[in-house]
Structure 1
Amino acid sequence: MQSFRQSFKDQTPLYVFVAVLFLVGVLFGALMVNALSLEQQQDLAGYLDHFFLTLHEGGEGEIPASFGNIAALHLKWLGLIWILGLSVIGLPGILILDFFKGVLIGFTVGYLVGQYSWKGLLFALVSVAPQNLLVIPVLMMCSVAAITFSLYIIKNRLLMQRSGSVTKPFASYIGLTCVMALLILGISSFETWITPSMMQWVAPMLLPASSL
């Protein structure tokens, strides 16, 4: 526990950097909504109207997504960060993924709020926020671990400042990623069986009057 606290303290600047990068991505994604053309806005509105109608009617098909699909999506993201952390050239890729994750969330929430006002915000709070309040910290921890390991490789292999065997840091890196993967499975369970029920509760508020 003491070593974990010390590691967290040592990595605090990295956590701050990754968090700021993610928040910049959220802001950028929200601003992207204003760059949509009228045709793109109409296409998105049509898709969302169909999505909300399907939710309201309780239809099967693409929604709710299966546990396997949701877990696979999150685990692929986690795995990509882990793989990028194994190489020197993967370091920028980790930062790009964190920024892109922020863009996706910012765009989704920004569009819902811009299109549906407070009802869109309510839908975002039940469909986007719950799992991402857990997923984002997990991805941030994995990102910081990946960046730390990548920097360790740079220092020990490229700069020739050998400070010991790579075995222990690598084992810690794998161990943390496995724990985070288990957490992702738990979050995916919530997203599979709880989130759709909350979405179905809010969906009727966003439907056009003619669809009710």
Structure 2
Amino acid sequence: MRKVNNVLIKHIQRNIITYFVVIMFFLIGISSGAFTTKALSDSENGELIAYLENFFKIVDTKTIDNFAILKQSLINNLQTGVLIWILGVTIIGIPAILFLIGLRGFIIGFTVGFIIKQKGLKGLIFSIFSLLPQNIIIIPGIIVTGVLGISFSVMLIKSKVEKNVHNNILNQFFVYSTVIAIVYIFIALGCIIEAYISPLFVKYLSVYM
């Protein structure tokens, strides 16, 4: 555990600026998503309200298919992880990785912002218990994956530009891919929480919404 901690600390220290940039894009995405809820037209707002109310009614009356939620969550997060992994080896993928991180923040910001806008304190409580448990694990995992992708892309750029830089690209690629796979295992734990724990809160709280 001590060795693992040392590796993690060194990794963060080496990539502190990249972490700062990635987290900033994520926060900008959240802010943009929350702000967008205020820019909705009356018709768009009405459609989303109807969808939200229908969602609460369905959740309250029907049995939740936990396995289907788990499957979809794993697919969604795997797609994001694989896309970031691919972008990391394209050299020009850095802007796209930052866009994906910002998009994930936008979705969360819009969802939470809209629920709170319509339901007030109840919406805040609902958002905390329905979205926070899984995202405590999933979001850090996505951010780490993004940082790894950007770092690998930067390393490739340096190897092309700086003649004095000699990296064993194949070994670096293997390490890069392995670490991202390990991070995804942790993300999968968040998916399990999303499928089997968060729905319990959703079903219980939907009665009061």
Smaller-chain TM-score bracket: over 0.9
Q: Which residue of 1 aligns with 2:19?
A: 15
Deviates more, 1:85-94 or 1:160-169: 160-169
Contact kept in structure 2, 1:64 and 1:196, CA below 8 Å: no
CA spacing shift, 1:133–1:3, aligned 2, 3 Å: closer
Q: Please give the secondary structure, in 2, of the residue aligned with 1:66.
A: helix
Residue 208 of structure 2: which of 185, 201, 205 is its match? 205
**C-alpha distance in structure 1 between counterparts of 2:64 and 2:170, whole Å:** 48
Residues 1:50 and 2:60 are matched in the alignment: no
**C-alpha distance in structure 1 between counterparts of 2:7 and 2:64, whole Å:** 49
Q: Which residue of 1 aligns with 2:44?
A: 40
Residue 93 of structure 1: which of 93, 96, 111 is its match? 96
Given the two structures, how large is their TM-score scaled by the length of structure 2? Answer: 0.92
Aligned-residue offset at 1:59: 4.1
Deviation per CA, 1:120-163: give whole Å up to 9, x if none.
11111111111112111001111111000000001102444423
| Structure 2 counterpart of 1:9, one-letter code | Q
Report the identity percentage: 29
Q: Which runs of 5+ in 1 are unaligned?
A: 207-212
Deviates more, 1:188-197 or 1:3-12: 3-12
Aligned length, in residue pairs: 205
Given the two structures, how large is their TM-score scaled by the length of structure 1? Answer: 0.91
Deviates more, 1:4-13 or 1:156-165: 156-165
Q: Which residue of 2 aligns with 1:124?
A: 127
CA spacing shift, 1:35–1:19, aligned 2, 3 Å: same
Q: Please give the secondary structure, in 2, of the residue aligned with 1:150.
A: helix
**C-alpha distance in structure 1 between counterparts of 2:8 and 2:125, whole Å:** 37
Q: Which runs of 5+ in 2 are unaligned?
A: none
CA spacing shift, 1:106–1:64, aligned 2, 3 Å: farther
| Structure 1 counterpart of 2:45, one-letter code | Q
CA spacing shift, 1:64–1:48, aligned 2, 3 Å: farther
Residues 1:31 and 2:27 are matched in the alignment: no
